[in-house]
Structure 1
C-alpha cells in the first residue's frame, strides 16, 4: 500500500503535508465521520488504504463521468454502449413530476425509483401500494439531494427524475439476486454475490475462486451463499463483462442482476458503501488498495494550475515511487513452487 515515501523529494513531502492540513480543515465533518466509523484518522491528501482512497475521491476527484454513471437513467445508456449484448431492465416511463405517473401503474409488477440516489425503491404489484402513496414518497425523494452527509458529490448535479422500470424475476433461492464486481484500471479485484431475499452472500477473487471472509450485510458464517455450478458460472460471466463497462476508471463497482435466464445490467457504483465498506478478510481491502492506481484518476490525468499543480505533481511523484517499489518487491519475491 502507499505509505510515506522517505525518498520523495522534500518539496513534494512538504506539499503533501500542507495539502493534508488544508483538506482536513476544509472537510472537518467528513474527516471526523471517517475516524469515528473506521477508527483511525485518514490522510485525505495522500491516501494509502482503500477507505482513504474513497475519501480522496469524494473530496478531490471531480470526474464529470461520475455524474453520468451515478445517474441511474444515464448509466443505462452508458452500459448499452459499452456492452450491447447485456440486457438492461426496460424503462417503462420517466418524468420530472410524480403526478405524471401512469394511472394504470399499480396493475403490474414494476419498480418505481428516482435516478439520483440509492436504496430508494417502491415495488409495485397487484395494485399495492396505492398510486397516491407512491406519489407522496416520490415527492420526498425528488425534493432533496442525495449523499450530502457523506460527501458523495456526483449525486448532486443530477437532474432529478422519477422512472418506472420492469421488475425482473430474480433468482433468489436458486442462484443469487446480485453479483457485484470491483474493478481497478481494468483489473478485477474481487466479486461479491448476494441473495438479498435469503440474506446470504459469498466473496470471490478476480478469477472467480471463493474467498474466505464475510461482509457487513451478512456477517455470520451460516449466511454463506451455497456454491452451485450456476452461481460460479454467472460469477465468471460477470468478471468477463465488468471491465468492459468499467473502462479505464481507477476504481468502480459494476453490479449485475441475476435471473434464471442470465445476467442483466444493474448499477454502476462510484462510492461503494459511501466509502465506509469493510470486510472480515483484510486481504480484500489490501488488494483493492494495491490495485487502485491514483495516477489513472481523472484528477491526475488532467493539467492543473497554481497550487493544484504543485499538489498534483507531488501526488504523481508519490504514485510513481510507489509503483517502482511494488515492482522491486515483486522481483525480489521468489516464485511459488
Structure 2
C-alpha cells in the first residue's frame, strides 16, 4: 500500500514545489525517527516502501538484493575514500589517471568561507559527502544567501541515514568548487556510467539531462543501456529511455572502458562515471549502490542476469578473510 502512494507523491513532487517541500520535510522526519533502528531492519522497510517487494537477504538473487547484502556486509575502508568526492581524487591519481581529474578551485568546511576571488566567472559547486547537492556558480546571477543557507544545511547531514550506505557514514562534509564542464555540441553533458563487476565493465548506463539549468539534480533525466561494445540494449534501469539516435559511440570509447576497469578493480561491484567532451575524458565519481539499490529493472529477467554478475560466495569469503 505504501509503495504506490509514495510513487505518486514522488512523481507529483517533480512538478509541484509545494509537494516537493512536503515530501522532503516528511522524509527528513522519517529519517530522524528511524535513525536508531538496525541497518537490516531499515533495509527491509526501505526496500518494501520503494519497490513494493520483500527483500531477500538470506538468499539474494536479484541485482538490488545483492546490493543490499553488500551494503550490510562490505566494510572495506576504501569504499569511504572512493565515496568522498574529494578524497577519491587521490585514489584516481594513485591509479595513474590524474589527467582525467577536473580542476579544483577550492575546498571549504563552510559555504560562507568560499573565496570568490579565485573562482572564474562560472564554476561547479558540490558537496563531497552525499548525492545531488550541486549548483552552477555564475558570477552574473549567483544568489549567495540562498546558496549558503542550502549548502550549510547540507553539511550538517549524514547521508548514511538516508539509505544506510555505510561508505558515507564517516566522510567529513566539505564543499568543493571545481571546473565547470561544458560541451558546446550538446544541450547538456552526457553521463557515461560504467557498471563494473570484479573490475570488468559489463553494462554502460548513458544518461542525458541529468542536471537542471542551475546545476541541481534533474529527476526527469533519461537513460539508455548499452553493452561493453556500445550496442543498445532494450533495458530500463530506474529512468525512462531516450531516442537511441541522439548519441553515438565515442571515438575513444575503449579508453573509457580501460579507465573504468582500472578504477573498479578492487571492488566486487561499482559504477564508474565518466564524461567525454570532444575526445577529452573526465572523471565524475564512483558509486557503489546505484539508486540506493531500489531502482526497478525491466524486463525483470535482467534483474537476475545482472545480479548473477555479483558473486557473493567469493565476497563472503573475502570479508571473512
TM-score range, shorter chain: 0.7 to 0.9
Verify: 1:54 aligned to 2:67, yes or no.
yes
Range with bigger deviation, 54-63 or 84-93: 84-93
Distance 1:86 1:43 in 2: 42
Give the equivalent residue in structure 2 for 1:201.
Answer: 223
Give the equivalent residue in structure 1 for 2:262.
Answer: 244
Distance 1:65 1:257 in 2: 23
Verify: 1:157 aligned to 2:170, yes or no.
yes
Distance 1:175 1:284 in 2: 29
SS in 1 for 2:162: coil
- The answer for unaligned runs of 5 or more in structure 1 is 1-23, 305-337
Distance 1:176 1:281 in 2: 28
Aligned counterparts, 1:219-234, within 5 A: 219=241, 223-226=242-245, 228-229=247-248, 231-234=249-252
Give the equivalent residue in structure 1 for 2:235.
Answer: 213
Q: 1:235 to 1:227 in 2, by over 3 A?
A: farther
Give the equivalent residue in structure 2 for 1:144.
Answer: 157
User: Any runs of at least 4 consecutive aligned residues in structure 1 with deviations exceeding 6 A, and if so which?
Assistant: none
Verify: 1:182 aligned to 2:195, yes or no.
yes
When normalised by structure 2's length, the TM-score is: 0.77
Range with bigger deviation, 85-94 or 198-207: 198-207
1:258 positional shift: 2.8
Give the equivalent residue in structure 1 for 2:49.
Answer: 36
Verify: 1:279 aligned to 2:297, yes or no.
yes
Give the equivalent residue in structure 1 for 2:130.
Answer: 117
Aligned residues of 1:250 and 1:296 also touching (Cα < 8 A): no
Distance 1:148 1:247 in 2: 28
Distance 2:181 2:317 in 1: 40
SS in 1 for 2:298: coil
User: CA offsets per residue over residues 154-173 of structure 1, 9 Å max, x none?
Assistant: 11100111110110113663
- Give the alignment's Cα RMSD to 1 decimal: 2.6
Larger radius of gyration: 1
Q: 1:104 to 1:85 in 2, by over 3 A?
A: closer
1:301 positional shift: 1.3
Q: In the comparison of the two structures, how many residue pairs are matched?
A: 276
- The answer for unaligned runs of 5 or more in structure 2 is 1-36, 212-220
Distance 1:133 1:256 in 2: 30
